[in-house]
Every structure is written in structure tokens, then in C-alpha cells.
Amino acid sequence: MKLFLVRHGETDYNRSNRYQGHSNTALNRTGLRQAKRLQRRLLDEKIDKIYASSLMRAMDTARIIADGRGIEVAASENLVEIGFGRFEGMTYDEIIKEYPEWRPTNCDFTACGGESLDELARRAGLFSQEIHRDNPTGSNILVVSHAGCLRVLLCIILGIDVSEWWRFTVATASISIVENTHLEPVLSLLSDVSHLDDI
């Protein structure tokens, strides 16, 4: 199985460096252009199935990529970004001002009504099992999700401890590719944004 892992296009929260999490933000004008570039970039790739986070920014990116393929996008709650609770909509500086004891290396947001890294990893693990169970070995699968979820999913697929999720950069509207996922997974492309050069 070959996985095309795509992060959604830009939102206004991305542009202003605000924590989004479960907030159902829409693609902005740049994000829509990025999604169309992703669609063109992937035009010659054989895609058998498309999965996306149920959040609007990911679903809209996936639907633009799917345009003309005759493939319906399958929404998955397991691909939704980690929940940041009360931090959603805030910038890092705003969080530190209001919660000076918090550190960005703390990936447990349950104290503020969000999720923990373990909860995100459980969801991502369930999704990984699902796609391997429900699709033939030779399938090409497109997944549209969020930075945190994609980082954790990469760890799970590659057999890396999820605590190392921060070692991956997953840029907005980027493409990463993992091949041979049924046997010995190989990361052949990471966070590529060459299709966005002039945006």
C-alpha cells in the first residue's frame, strides 16, 4: 500500500498562528488556491480511495483534490486534529500570558478540556488499522488531515514512538508519501510543497 499524506490548505487561524484543534475553520483564499495546486500535483497519480478528517478545512481540501476522479471522500473522526480545549483560537503568546506555567512541550491538553497525545495516538492507530483492513495491499490511499495527526500517524506507520512526533515537519498543503506500508514502510517524501512555489 502507498499512502499520500496531505495536510489541509491554509486557514485564517494558520495565517495568524492560532491553535485550531477541533475548531471547524474554513480554508481562506490562499488555502483554496493551495488545494487546487494539490489537485493538479496529484492529477497523474492513481488514487483508489480518499479519506479526510471530518473538519471542514480538511474535507474541503480533499474534495478539491478528488474533483474529476469520481471518488467520494470518506470522512473519519479518527483523522481530526488533537483537541486543544480552551487554547483553541489563541496564539502561543496569548496562552503563555494567560497560563504562564504551560510549556509547548506539554502535549496533554486534558486539563484545559482538550485531548492528550495518547488519545490522539489511539485514534491514529485505529485509522491505520482500518485502512490496512479495508483496502487491498496494492492500493494507493490519499489521506487529508492535520499537522499533529499526520505526525503521529507517521510515527505509528514507521514504528517510531509517538513521543517523537515533534521530529516531523508537516507544512500546510504539503504532501508526504509512505510506501510499502504492509511490509517495511519507507518514507519516500516528507512535507513537500514544491507545487506551492509561487503562492
Cell numbers placing 23: 475548531
pLDDT at position 101:
86
For residue 153, the model assigns a pLDDT of: 98
Phi-psi region of 108 (alpha: psi -120 to 50; beta: other; left: phi over 0): beta
pLDDT at 21 over 80: yes
Q: What is the mean pLDDT of residues 172-176?
A: 98
Structural domains in the chain, CATH included, are 2-196 (3.40.50.1240)
Measured from the Cβ of residue 102, the count of other Cβ atoms closer than 10 Å reads 15
Tens of pLDDT, residue by residue over 81-128, are: 999 999 999 999 999 999 888 887 778 899 889 999 999 999 999 999
Which residue among the candidates 132, 146, 182, 195 is catalytic per the annotation?
Answer: 146
- CA 16 to each of CA 90, 92, 95, 146: distance values in angstroms, whole numbers, following the listed order: 9, 10, 14, 16
* Residue 8 annotated in active site: yes
Q: Which residues, including other chains, have CB under 8 Å from residue 191's CB and lie 6 or more apart?
A: 168, 169, 170, 171, 174, 175, 176
Of the chain, the percentage scoring pLDDT greater than 90 comes to 91
Report pTM.
0.96
Measure the CA–CA gap between 183 and 164, rounded to whole angstroms: 22
pLDDT of 134 > 90? The answer is: yes
